[in-house]
Amino acid sequence: MESFEPGLAGRKFSRSKGMAPSNDRQRDRSGESQDRTGLWSALYGLPPFISHRPGVKAYVHPAALSDWRSRFNCRLFFCPAARARTVAGPGGNRLCPPNSEKAVDRTTPGALRRLYGPNIIDHILIKRPMLERYREQTQETARSAIHHCMVVHNSYPLGEPRVQREAETLAADNCDVDVICLHHANEPSFERISGVTIYRLPFRRNKNRGVVMQLFEYLIFFALAFAKLTILHWRRHYHIVQVHNLPDFLVFATLIPKLTGSRIILDLHDLMPEFFAGRFSSSRARWLLGLVVWQEKLSCRFADHVITVSEHWRQTLIRRGVPAHKCSVLMNLADHRIFRQSGDAPVRLNPNGQFHLIYHGTITYRYGLDLLVKAIDLLKPEIPAIKLSLIGGGEYVKHLRQMVQNLQLDQQVQMSGIIPAEKLPPVITAADLAVVPYRNDIFTKELLPTKLMEYAALGVPAVVSRTPAIAAYFDETMVQFFTPGEVNELAASILDLYRNPARLAALAVNIQKFNQRYSWANQGPEYVQLVQRLAKISAVDMPETNELRQPVQNQ
């Protein structure tokens, strides 16, 4: 039995065995036979009153796909789109397209096709040439119809500036962006901010848990995120689902979207084996390290694309088996919409000798803030009016407060909570010097701090630890280095800049060279292009190019 539908001409298909012609057609008033596949039966899956959801845009399917499935009574799923009909004629039975006069139009958007595909069904039923022609027809509408979902084990928008920047960049490019995140105090479970729809799960983060309880917390969030993402995907059919670690295995919460054709991006903010080894160094936790390495490999293999924050970490992932074309770099750059200078960076040395230092971000042991507090204690006799502002939160806050009290530095050290990114620039620019006192452990040695790039964007001079990752992007003309873990050298570097305003002014100018080479204004559009490309090829395997990779240039 031949089909004369364009795109199917010349092809012959056999009817399913054991299926009588009388079961496939019913008579209309004109005596002509027509398909009854537009009617619902239990074999199709869900009934239309469940599958049809008004207000949700359907995929643009060419007539050939609906005609093919309608003509041969494909019972894999209910598809109430426009149907072709089989008409008896002099030359035999003929397939009429839906737009012909004899076609019967039972048009309602194919909702279940959004749920189950068309990707996996197309691969099973449709040959590659037809699938490629279908993708060409829908390519033009992919840009304005991208549904993107992000999953992050943190609060939004205060918890992860990187997630907020990426989500708002996509929303500004007319993408429909949802974020599934943790619930923070006094936040609604559903909210829409800057074009981004936020779904907060009824679960809060606790950073003070041990290794076993931390893994248990990850598993609980995984289960909640899996359920929420599956429900949302049922309604919206995401083209892209982007999972932000930690943990890496959170990417498996996208199992249902991946099976139904969505592309999966794994955004590695941190390398979990290094993070795990640096944070949980006890002998009882080391037996889990092999499991952490194994789950990272599986997670990267499961994802369609992997994004990380620096070239150092990209090379590490490649050595661990991630294909180079599948891994890109999206740096934790300062948001140019928030962190920008209003004029030349001044050197603010008050006549009364006050010297204001600042640190903002996560407060944890590996970031060396206890070393900074000890350095303030050493500098108090030399700089009586010295002041340190610590902005942020973390599991080390309680210990740090106790240290400040024990050293009687309540007048010199001021600890603030988390401040929204929009309110940070005036607070940072009010300081004379920023400090990044990272320890040099297995995790921080390849970590490029976002806070340092924000200081560079605002023209605030900085004293930083000489770690391999920082030394790859900054040199001694841009920042003041000190040996990680050396309190005396840290105090000497701060004192030297206090006594040398010319050096301080030079650092304030030279640190801005970083933003001349790397900026979100350049990487933001590249990130959007990556998302658009993955959305357009969500059902066709095409070679991927590394659009975001930025080579490291030793300064």
Nearest to 245 by CA among 341, 309, 173: 309
Give DSSP secondary structure letters for 167-188. HHHHHHTT-EEEEEEE--TT--
* pLDDT for 156 beyond 50: yes
Q: What's phi and psi for 511, nearest 5 deg?
A: -65, -20
Strand partners, 34: 26
Amino acid 208: pLDDT: 63
Reported as a pLDDT band with limits 50, 70 and 90, residue 548 is low
Question: Whole-angstrom Cα distance, residue 239 to residue 241?
Answer: 7
Mean pLDDT computed over 451-478: 93
Query: Please, which residues have CB within 8 angstroms of residue 277's CB and are 6 or more apart in sequence?
Result: 289, 442, 443
Q: Higher pLDDT residue, 208 or 201?
A: 201
pLDDT digits over 131-154, tens only? 455 455 445 444 457 999 999 999
**Planar angle of CA 111, 116, 118, nearest 5 degrees:** 85
Domains in the chain (CATH in brackets) are: 21-142 (no CATH), 146-333+522-536 (3.40.50.2000), 355-517 (3.40.50.2000)
497 pLDDT more than 50:
yes
Instruction: Specify the amino acid at residue 464.
Output: V
pTM over 0.85: no
State mean pLDDT over 234-257.
Answer: 94
Tokens at 520, concatenated: 């979100």
pLDDT at 109 > cutoff 60: no
* Sign, Cα dihedral of 330, 336, 340, 344: positive
